[in-house]
């Protein structure tokens, strides 16, 4: 609920508000699901932030960081969150805003208020281990890119002339897939992608723990983002050279066969990447490849 109070009476008034208009100031109510560290209990905390024009969720978190007090004026540790570019192109600031997985930078306060004027609710992604508050560990997402060998198998970085000629149609087909920002929204929304959170044993070395975690990642669902990247590289004349390896990867344990076709991924993708089209293509390519493999034996 947006409540009008005198700026000086608000718990969040700061030295900066000295220049603010004397008119009553609206407050935005924010409820944050916090967690101090991995393995600890989570808890809700309420904040109230003075309304400003053109605010997004990032600016709310910035105001909370600058004035770390809960709604009742109690000093608290500032809420931790991930962000970088604030232009929805770096993929850092994914969180659940009013229950929906999205980038915090493009979550505009005015729009959120239209949907729910009572308050804004912020939670960390649920499919990745919480590091602290809204910060989660998304290393698994990058591991999936290794699994599908999402790169061009070039000889090296020395000059070898231009790349292959590409039709504008192929470019226009590939380009959207190449705008994937590795935010993880598609994974958060996917019923087949479940959280993997391991705890290091007391007698386990860091290297052993990393190995165990990696093998757990490799058994889990690879995710729509990685399947789409595999299709991106398999559609390129050079990328195609290791197409079979990628098809092998997406049909191995945790591969495309786990996809339940819920189509949530494509619905939440902030970049509108045609993920289900990539999955359909991958399914067809995998079938053809499996049959071919059968006959090649």
Partner 1 sequence: MSEPRVLVIGGGLAGLAATMRLAELGIGVDLVSLVPVKRSHSVCAQGGINSVNAMTRQQGDSEWKHFDDTVYGGDFLQHQPPVKEMTEWAPKIVDLLDRLGVPFNRTPEGHRDQRRFGGTLYKRTAFAGATTGQQLLYALDEQVRRWEVEGKVKKWEFWDFLEPVLDSSGRCRGAVCQDMVTMAFRTFAADATIIATGGCGLVYGRSTMSMVCTGSAASRAYQAGARYGNGEFIQVHPTAIPGADKLRLMSESARGEGGRVWVPRTPHDARDPRDIAEVDRYYFLEDRYPKYGNLVPRDIATREIFDICTTDGLSVEKDRLCVYLDLTHIPRETLDRKLGGILEIYEKFQGVDPRAVPMKIFPAVHYSMGGLWVDYQKNAAGGLEEGSPRNQQTNIPALYAIGECDYQYHGANRLGANSLLSCIFSGLFCASGVVASAHGSRKLAAEESTNLFAAAMRRQESRHESLLARRVGTENPYQLHLELGNLMTRVATVVRRNEQLTAAYAEVCTLEDRWKRCALSDSGNWTNQNVVFTKALGDMFPIAKLILKGALEREECRGAHYKPALAMPGIAATDLAGQYHEAQEWCDRFEQNTKRWLKSTIASHGADGDPQIVFEDVDTSLLPPRPRLYGLIGGELIEEVWKERQKKAALNGSGSAAGTAQTAAVAGPSA
Rounded least distance, CB 26 to partner 1, Å: 15
152 or 288, CB closer to partner 1? Answer: 152
Nearest to 78 by CA among 68, 90, 92: 68
Answer yes or no: are the C-beta atoms of 83 and 89 closer than 8 Å. no
64 or 256, CB closer to partner 1? Answer: 64
Both tokens of residue 268? 């939440």
Rounded to whole angstroms, the Cα distance separating 73 from 87 reads 32
Q: Residue count of the chain, please give it.
A: 297
Rounded least distance, CB 22 to partner 1, Å: 17
Q: Which helix (H) or strand (E) holds 66?
A: helix 57-66
36 or 197, CB closer to partner 1? Answer: 36
9 or 53, CB closer to partner 1? Answer: 53
108 or 113, CB closer to partner 1? Answer: 108
145 or 259, CB closer to partner 1? Answer: 145
Answer yes or no: are the C-beta atoms of 146 and 55 closer than 8 Å. no
User: How far is the first Cα of the chain from the last one, in angstroms, to the nearest whole number?
Assistant: 67
Rounded least distance, CB 282 to partner 1, Å: 18
Rounded least distance, CB 196 to partner 1, Å: 18
Rounded least distance, CB 93 to partner 1, Å: 10
Q: Vertex 40, ends 183 and 122: CA angle to 5°?
A: 40
Rounded least distance, CB 166 to partner 1, Å: 6
Nearest to 255 by CA among 165, 144, 155: 144
Nearest to 91 by CA among 79, 73, 77, 106: 106
20 or 131, CB closer to partner 1? Answer: 131
β-strand pairing of 25-35 with 120-123: parallel
Rounded to whole angstroms, the Cα distance separating 99 from 109 reads 15
Rounded least distance, CB 287 to partner 1, Å: 25
């Amino acid at each position: 609920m947006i409540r009008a109070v005198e700026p000086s009476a608000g718990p969040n008034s700061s030295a900066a508000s000295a220049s603010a208009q004397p008119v009553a100031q609206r407050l935005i109510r924010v409820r944050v699901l916090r967690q101090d560290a991995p393995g600890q209990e989570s808890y809700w905390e309420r904040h109230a932030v003075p309304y400003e024009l053109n605010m997004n969720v990032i600016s709310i978190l910035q105001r909370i960081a600058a004035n770390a007090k809960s709604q009742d004026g109690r000093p608290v540790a500032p809420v931790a969150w991930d962000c970088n570019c604030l232009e929805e192109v770096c993929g850092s600031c994914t969180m659940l805003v009013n229950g929906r997985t999205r980038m915090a930078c493009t979550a505009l306060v005015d729009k959120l208020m239209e949907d729910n004027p009572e308050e804004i609710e912020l939670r960390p992604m649920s499919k990745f281990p919480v590091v602290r508050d809204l910060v989660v560990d998304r290393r698994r997402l990058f591991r999936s890119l290794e699994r599908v060998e999402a790169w061009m198998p070039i000889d090296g970085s020395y000059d070898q002339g231009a790349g292959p000629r590409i039709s504008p149609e192929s470019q226009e087909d590939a380009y959207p897939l190449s705008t994937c920002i590795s935010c993880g929204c598609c994974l958060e929304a996917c019923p087949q992608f479940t959280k993997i959170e391991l705890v290091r044993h007391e007698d386990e070395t860091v290297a052993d723990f990393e190995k165990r975690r990696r093998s757990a990642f490799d058994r889990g669902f690879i995710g729509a983002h990685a399947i789409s990247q595999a299709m991106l590289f398999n559609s390129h004349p050079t990328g195609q050279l290791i197409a079979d390896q990628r098809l092998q990867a997406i049909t191995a344990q945790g591969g495309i066969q786990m996809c339940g076709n819920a189509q949530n991924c494509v619905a939440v993708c902030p970049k509108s990447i045609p993920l289900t089209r990539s999955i359909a293509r991958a399914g067809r390519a995998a079938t053809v490849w499996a049959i071919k493999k059968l006959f090649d034996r």
